Amino acid sequence: MGLTRRSLIKGSLVAGAVGLAAPRPIEGKRGRRRGRAKSSAKSQGRVFGYTPFSQPLEPGFGLPLPLTELTGANRLDPAPGLYPRPGGPGPGPIAPTHDFADVSHGIAPEFGHFPDMNQFKSGFSLGNTHETEFGLVLEETLHQFVPGGPEVPIFAYRDITQPPGSGTTPGPTILTDVRAPTVLRSYNALTADRGKGGDGQVNTTHHAHESSIHLHGGHNPAHSDGYPDFYNLAGESRDYWYTNCGPQRTNPATNIAPVQGDDFDPTWIPTTCWYHDHAMDVTGYNVAKGLAGFYLCIDERELELADSGVIPAPGGPQDIGLVLTDQRFNADGTIFYDFLDHNGRIGDVFTVNGKVQPYLEVERRKYRFRFLNGSNARIYEVRLSTGQKMCIIGTDTWLLPRGVEVESFEISAGMRQDVIIDFRDAPDEVYLENIMIQKNGRKGNKLDPRNPTPLLQFRVRGPRYPVETPCVDGTVIRGFAGVDPGGQWSPITEDEVIVHRQFAFDRSAGAFTVNGRYFNPRRSDGNPKLGVGAEQWTMENKAGGWWHPIHTHLEGHQVQTVNGKLPRRERRYNQDLTLLHGGEVAETRVKFRTFTGPFVFHCHTIEHEDMRMMGVIDPTPTPGNTEAIDATPPLDGKTRINAVVSGVVPECIDLEHEGYFYFDEVGDLDLIDERGVGFPECEFDEKRRGNRKEFW
Ligand SMILES: [Cu+2]
């Protein structure tokens, strides 16, 4: 793969320093400053010859279109697999068949236990007779970041119903109903010989690129979670099966979640998820190249809130996803990525939805913006240039119990802030601004309210809309259970906690550790009791002044305290990311329900993640709670998994003999050179597995 983290990680780790001269990116411009005359904007951005805020965000141009649901003749062919059980599909555990078809077109049973998948279809969307089906193609195509600028290669997700080369970043928005499960078939067309038909796809590397799609915020089986080496390899397809609902509620009498049933925990009904690449060692590169998109789940409460006018209609024209990303470009306008920068990739050009400093026309009414920080390492403190307050209705995947009004919010890589902005009294021009100064991927340096970077211009137009139901501090959103009428949000209480775990996040030998160990996908770092009680996790940032946003898969967590104090008001409820600033210790509570692992938890500064700041959690069934067959290979750091069902290349598995493949303990520097990281000796050749398909 040429210059990759995988091929160079060993050298830089051993040497403790960068061994090769990295190419130098050119510098972008930050654009006009707050309060300056408009004319100053013209002198900015000269490097690219563009004027900030001269390109719009419009549907199909910066504003992603919804992914087409596949119906009728367009349905997936072959059909997604039923859940293979003796005697046909039905409740109860399944036996892994270890057949490639289970991965390719169905449910990959590599890790044993599933509950009855039909339970997830109950409730809201009972009319559905099958999963909603979607198809995404991963392709390399051309993209224009700058108005009038060069068209440069990106990695994109493309709606399978659209022509080759039409993939976008962000990818199409996936809209789903809660309790209407989805099958997403992902076709990885990032092959070595793509783009031969002159059809808009390009191939700038002539290499195959592996992928693994993580649905960030989803509560899904391990095989569908985007585990770092459960690959969707180039030239192959893989089916991801998504529940689109929260975990089952724990029975307070027994402290146990049911084996079957549709009593889902309303505290954790998902709302604003996103999908992005999570392939081991190369996530930073794949995401920087564009592999990210929104995944929204709509439930009854959101529709009620829209009906009463508290929020705009979900998925409607006033519900807009905005991905904040910092980019770095080479002089020719192509994306700059330095595989040797393990601090975290920081860009000097600011994009919203893949467009450099765009504008968005809005009316004088209420909008819902789902902010996603799609950057690899940058942390923003976001405000409006007018000083107007914004009403946060959700953080990360979940709606808040009640609205929280803020003048600014912090958003680290991977986080979402679901925000209502009311433009009824706004002037004609409002800027979305970042006031966090950050020089490299280690940490935010300081807040500088007098030196904001404008990210997006709102052009406010038209007459003032009539009075709408306000969304202000204290407006009931999901509501507090037992307090607000119909309230749904409940805290995880101290008496539910049955296990305490301590996770220390640190640096070692130029890479990053959790409890002193590097990520090993074959080693579990914790085995929670599946569906029983709750755990208290103490997350400690021991890495000096470095900042680490910690992300938990499968389940979100509730932060109790940070350094003994309450966190910011909007971050006291549900979140799947907690930003640990330098030296911080967060007390969090989390439950592990429904699915056995493996699942990862990790730093979402993606270069830290790629450099092994990940741990593995493997929730384990207990008698009486689940009747799992446990065909799960032990995650002991040594036992191999079945290559066919995991998506791992068989030849690579063969290299995974004892102690060879993954480095595991700090202090093994003399061995690292031999062991490498990931699959240094394994070329991901899509022809190897003999099931290559043409996607164009
Ligand atoms: Cu980190």
Q: DSSP labels for 119-168?
A: GGGSGGGTT-SS-EEEEEEEEEEEEESSTT--EEEEEEEEETTSPTT--B
Residues 6+ positions from 91 with CB-CB distance below 8 Å: 116, 118, 260
Residue with tokens 């912090």: 410
Give 371's strand partners.
Answer: 322, 417
Please state the domain extents for the chain.
Answer: 25-50+315-464, 62-250+269-298, 494-628
Separation of CA 548 and ligand 1 centre (Å): 4
Q: Are strands 319-327 and 366-373 parallel, antiparallel or unpaired?
A: parallel
Q: Which CATH class is domain 62-250+269-298?
A: mainly beta
Q: Which two tokens stand for residue 38?
A: 């408009």
Separation of CA 541 and ligand 1 centre (Å): 9
Q: Which two tokens stand for residue 621?
A: 């069934």
Per-block mean pLDDT, blocks of 10 residues, the chain (696 long): 39 34 43 33 49 95 96 82 47 38 43 58 58 92 92 96 95 93 89 77 82 94 85 79 87 76 89 95 92 96 96 96 96 88 93 97 98 98 98 98 98 98 97 97 96 97 91 97 97 95 91 88 86 95 92 98 97 98 97 88 96 90 56 62 52 40 34 32 40 45
Separation of CA 161 and ligand 1 centre (Å): 38
Separation of CA 63 and ligand 1 centre (Å): 30
Separation of CA 604 and ligand 1 centre (Å): 6
Separation of CA 10 and ligand 1 centre (Å): 19
Separation of CA 442 and ligand 1 centre (Å): 8
Separation of CA 498 and ligand 1 centre (Å): 28
Separation of CA 635 and ligand 1 centre (Å): 24
Q: Which CATH class is domain 25-50+315-464?
A: mainly beta
Query: Half-sphere exposure (CA, 13 Å, Cβ side) for 21?
Result: 2
Separation of CA 506 and ligand 1 centre (Å): 9
Separation of CA 284 and ligand 1 centre (Å): 12
Separation of CA 603 and ligand 1 centre (Å): 5
Q: How far apart are CA 11 and CA 30, in angstroms?
A: 35
Separation of CA 539 and ligand 1 centre (Å): 12
Separation of CA 412 and ligand 1 centre (Å): 11
Q: What are phi and psi of 505, to 5 degrees?
A: -110, 125
Separation of CA 411 and ligand 1 centre (Å): 14
Could you confirm whether domain 494-628 is CATH 2.40.110.10? no
Separation of CA 425 and ligand 1 centre (Å): 40
Separation of CA 606 and ligand 1 centre (Å): 7
Separation of CA 610 and ligand 1 centre (Å): 10
Map residue 404 onto helix, strand or coil. strand
Separation of CA 291 and ligand 1 centre (Å): 20
How is residue 245 annotated by DSSP?
A: S
Q: Are strands 366-373 and 416-422 parallel, antiparallel or unpaired?
A: antiparallel
Distance of CA 691 to the CA centre of its chain: 28
Separation of CA 607 and ligand 1 centre (Å): 8
Give start and end residues of each alpha helix (H) in 275-396.
283-288, 300-307
Separation of CA 426 and ligand 1 centre (Å): 38
Q: Which two tokens stand for residue 452?
A: 């904001």
Identity of the amino acid at 303? L
Q: DSSP string of 665-692?
A: BTT-HHHHHHH-SS-TT----TTTTS--
Map residue 184 onto helix, strand or coil. strand
With CA atoms as reference, report the closest residue to 171 among 117, 112, 211: 211
Q: How far apart are CA 594 and CA 264, in angstroms?
A: 10
Separation of CA 363 and ligand 1 centre (Å): 39
**Looking at residue 607, what is its pLDDT?**
94
Separation of CA 602 and ligand 1 centre (Å): 8
Start-to-end C-alpha separation, the chain: 23
Separation of CA 40 and ligand 1 centre (Å): 36
Give 500's strand partners.
Answer: 536
Determine the longest span between alpha carbons in the chain, in angstroms.
Answer: 73
Is residue 693 a contact partner of residue 78, using CB atoms and an 8 Å limit? no
Give 185's strand partners.
Answer: 135, 239
Cβ burial 588-598 (10 Å sphere, 16+ → b, else e)? bbbbbbbbbbb
Separation of CA 495 and ligand 1 centre (Å): 31
Separation of CA 520 and ligand 1 centre (Å): 17
Identity of the amino acid at 339? F
Is residue 413 a contact partner of residue 378, using CB atoms and an 8 Å limit? yes
Separation of CA 250 and ligand 1 centre (Å): 32
Separation of CA 609 and ligand 1 centre (Å): 7
Separation of CA 225 and ligand 1 centre (Å): 21
Separation of CA 504 and ligand 1 centre (Å): 12
Integer-rounded Cα radius of gyration of the chain: 24
Q: How far apart are CA 440 and CA 2, in angstroms?
A: 25
Separation of CA 537 and ligand 1 centre (Å): 17
Separation of CA 69 and ligand 1 centre (Å): 36
Cβ burial 29-47 (10 Å sphere, 16+ → b, else e)? bbbbbbeeeeeebeebbeb
Q: Are strands 182-188 and 132-144 parallel, antiparallel or unpaired?
A: parallel
Separation of CA 262 and ligand 1 centre (Å): 37
CA distances from 236 to 208, 226, 429 (A): 11, 15, 47
Identity of the amino acid at 69? E
Separation of CA 227 and ligand 1 centre (Å): 18
**Looking at residue 681, what is its pLDDT?**
36
**Looking at residue 549, what is its pLDDT?**
98
Q: How far apart are CA 321 and CA 303, in angstroms?
A: 18
Separation of CA 95 and ligand 1 centre (Å): 38
Separation of CA 557 and ligand 1 centre (Å): 18
Q: How far apart are CA 159 and CA 66, in angstroms?
A: 9
